[in-house]
Chains A and B, each alone.
Chain A
């Protein structure tokens, strides 16, 4: 990443500056670090929004740049959340168990502690033994590696099978939907070892850290902002230069790229896996702020929302994806949070929690029909005005 790379892409610096200003402003307004003008729950909402921006970035790379309409990237996001959630839940339960057993006359054996943690975590699904997949749950380092590894491997295997068979277009989209649906249904089972429909909870409590949620929320906001900044620069670097040329070529005319001698499948697999890992990192930062993850999070509709954000924000430009995710998810929080009063129409009351979906669907259709470049296209208009 040479200096010339940043010099050639001034929009990156603008983006980073905006992100830094935003983070600074939130820090100055947050209860723990500033004036307290905004609530901790709103700081968490903003922190989560930054994570959604990061996964939207991944979606833009795979769809907007490479032309693969993956409707399964939220599966990777959720898996990242599960991987970090396992450690958070294990380590916190361990602390509670050790403390409650410390008053016992005979000091507990490690096996007793482990059993007690097991029954604490899995009692809810009628089990007490640790499933094999929890083997590394005691180690933060191992689970952090798994955050990258498990979604990355899933994407690699899925992508290899799909791209090798030259599955493209709508067929690939359906296949990715099937993947996220299958994963979600599997995790709903109690036997999956991840507590079935209960999911993993209490993730907002960081084990061994006594800081208040007021402060933790700001830490996570910083973490999410840093991840978004790094992700943005990394994605911008990947799509610049010859690699970016080839990837956009694949989007526009796959066969032509093949006849130039490029192995299209390899490039697609790279992009698919790379974006899956970015999505997983975003998920691993999101769920500790949300506090809970359950299989409903990776239902097929979640991945479709992701595509809607990117489409509304503007495909094929990284800041478009970020703007789309931020605007749509914040407006969605506003509408569904019960803050907007319903409109009574006599015989029928417009309830925004339900009607927001209609509004979102309508805006998606309108953007697709009349502004295919999305919100990001406005920047082109401004640039053109200035050029005249």
Chain B
């Protein structure tokens, strides 16, 4: 399996606090990966670095078969390279309809003039309808997304992420605030998606990670503590100490 994203030797400090400390790991072309770790382990900072929000002090982040350096790109450029991100708190454009949210996320030219003269093609309209169906919002297509329930907003954001057709999806706590049924649906969807692209899930909830049934990376104090199957890492004495020894 070829490598899609390679993080090597990345460190970043905020006011002297080392949030990420010499972090290195790799994610393959079509892989599902869960990242777990206690609070302050650097999970969110890792996502910020990969998506261009935070610039690390040192290290490299290499992307794709052309081995481009993501650290030299702006957030929007990285997103166009095929890195999609779902935030922990559902962030959709609450002022606008579900349809408009999805249409904005749809993979199309992103330039100002392209958007100014853009008219949705038949294919685009079909795709939006498909996406809405996939995330169970087909009846809410013309509702203002601010009116949706918390779970529905999570789904809309997942739909927007799908619309972007990313090669790597970074998903921050997708199951937070979801009902049991919604969680099962989410698990199923993520497992399915990982067949065609890389999906990285950052999660607190061990039960949810177990259901994903994928390789797990444990972060602690900004670097990788252990890596392997969930059973493997949960039997690692260092992981036990980090999670239970406090």
A residues contacting B by CB (< 8 A) are: 238, 241-243, 245-246, 248-249, 252-253, 255-256, 258-264, 266-267, 270
Contact (Cβ within 8 A) A245 B104: yes
Contact (Cβ within 8 A) A243 B116: yes
With A243-B112, A260-B76 given, can you name 17 additional A-B contacts, CB distance below 8 Å?
A: A238-B116, A242-B104, A242-B120, A243-B116, A253-B91, A255-B53, A259-B51, A259-B79, A260-B105, A260-B164, A261-B76, A261-B80, A261-B110, A261-B164, A263-B76, A264-B76, A267-B112
What's the least CB distance linking B94 to chain A, in Å?
7
Contact (Cβ within 8 A) B93 A256: yes
Pick from A253, A260, A264 the residue with the most CB of B within 10 Å. A260
A270 CA / B84 CA spacing, docked (Å): 26
Contact (Cβ within 8 A) B112 A261: no
A249 CA / B91 CA spacing, docked (Å): 11
A243 CA / B110 CA spacing, docked (Å): 10
Known: A243-B118, A264-B76. A249 touches B111 (CB 8 A): no
CB contacts (< 8 Å) of A249 on chain B: these are: 93, 96, 104
A255 CA / B93 CA spacing, docked (Å): 12
What's the least CB distance linking A105 to chain B, in Å?
61
Tally the A-B contacts, defined by beta carbons under 8 Å.
72
CB contacts (< 8 Å) of A270 on chain B: these are: 112
What's the least CB distance linking B200 to chain A, in Å?
15
- Grouping DSSP codes into helix (H, G, I), strand (E, B) and loop, the A interface class, with mixed when no group exceeds half, is helix
Contact of B110 among A252, A256, A262 (CB under 8 A): A262
What is the chain B residue whose CB lies nearest that of A249? B93
What is the chain B residue whose CB lies nearest that of A2? B119
Contact (Cβ within 8 A) A263 B93: no
What is the chain B residue whose CB lies nearest that of A258? B75
Contact (Cβ within 8 A) A246 B104: yes
Contact (Cβ within 8 A) B115 A246: yes
Known: A246-B104, A259-B85. A252 touches B93 (CB 8 A): yes
CB contacts (< 8 Å) of B119 on chain A: these are: 241
A301 CA / B115 CA spacing, docked (Å): 35
Q: Does B160 contact A (CB under 8 A)?
A: yes
What's the least CB distance linking A251 to chain B, in Å?
8
A255 CA / B85 CA spacing, docked (Å): 11
Contact (Cβ within 8 A) A266 B112: yes
What's the least CB distance linking B126 to chain A, in Å?
17
What's the least CB distance linking A346 to chain B, in Å?
52
The contact sample of 6 A-B pairs, CB cut-off 8 A, is: A246-B115, A258-B74, A258-B75, A262-B76, A263-B77, A270-B112
CB contacts (< 8 Å) of A256 on chain B: these are: 87, 91, 93
Going nearest first, the 5 A-B pairs with the smallest beta carbon separation are: A261-B79, A258-B75, A261-B80, A243-B115, A243-B116
Contact (Cβ within 8 A) A245 B93: yes
Chain B: how many interface residues by the 8 Å CB criterion?
Answer: 30
Q: Which of B90-118 contact A (CB under 8 A)?
A: 91, 93-96, 100, 103-105, 110-112, 115-116, 118
B residues contacting A by CB (< 8 A) are: 51, 53, 74-77, 79-80, 84-85, 87, 91, 93-96, 100, 103-105, 110-112, 115-116, 118-120, 160, 164
A259 CA / B160 CA spacing, docked (Å): 11
A252 CA / B95 CA spacing, docked (Å): 8
A248 CA / B97 CA spacing, docked (Å): 12
CB contacts (< 8 Å) of B87 on chain A: these are: 256
A246 CA / B80 CA spacing, docked (Å): 15
What is the chain B residue whose CB lies nearest that of A241? B118
Contact of B115 among A242, A253, A255, A264 (CB under 8 A): A242
What is the chain B residue whose CB lies nearest that of A250? B93
Contact (Cβ within 8 A) A260 B112: no
Pick from B77, B79, B85, B115 the residue with the most CB of A within 10 Å. B115
A261 CA / B81 CA spacing, docked (Å): 9
A266 CA / B93 CA spacing, docked (Å): 20
Contact (Cβ within 8 A) A242 B103: yes
What is the chain A residue whose CB lies nearest that of B116? A243
What's the least CB distance linking A315 to chain B, in Å?
12
A182 CA / B65 CA spacing, docked (Å): 51
Pick from B51, B96, B116 the residue with the most CB of A within 10 Å. B116
A267 CA / B96 CA spacing, docked (Å): 18
What is the chain A residue whose CB lies nearest that of B91? A256
Contact (Cβ within 8 A) B79 A260: yes
CB contacts (< 8 Å) of A242 on chain B: these are: 103-104, 115, 118, 120
Contact (Cβ within 8 A) A260 B104: yes
What's the least CB distance linking B68 to chain A, in Å?
16
CB contacts (< 8 Å) of B75 on chain A: these are: 255, 258-259
What's the least CB distance linking B139 to chain A, in Å?
21
Known: A242-B104, A242-B115. A258 touches B76 (CB 8 A): yes
What's the least CB distance linking A317 to chain B, in Å?
12
CB contacts (< 8 Å) of A238 on chain B: these are: 116
CB contacts (< 8 Å) of B51 on chain A: these are: 259
What is the chain A residue whose CB lies nearest that of B118? A242
A256 CA / B89 CA spacing, docked (Å): 12
CB contacts (< 8 Å) of B80 on chain A: these are: 261
CB contacts (< 8 Å) of B91 on chain A: these are: 253, 256
What's the least CB distance linking A117 to chain B, in Å?
43
A264 CA / B160 CA spacing, docked (Å): 18
What's the least CB distance linking B87 to chain A, in Å?
8
What is the chain B residue whose CB lies nearest that of A262? B110
A378 CA / B8 CA spacing, docked (Å): 58
What's the least CB distance linking A210 to chain B, in Å?
44
What is the chain B residue whose CB lies nearest that of A316? B95
What's the least CB distance linking A128 to chain B, in Å?
47
CB contacts (< 8 Å) of A241 on chain B: these are: 115-116, 118-119
CB contacts (< 8 Å) of B96 on chain A: these are: 245, 248-249
What's the least CB distance linking B189 to chain A, in Å?
20
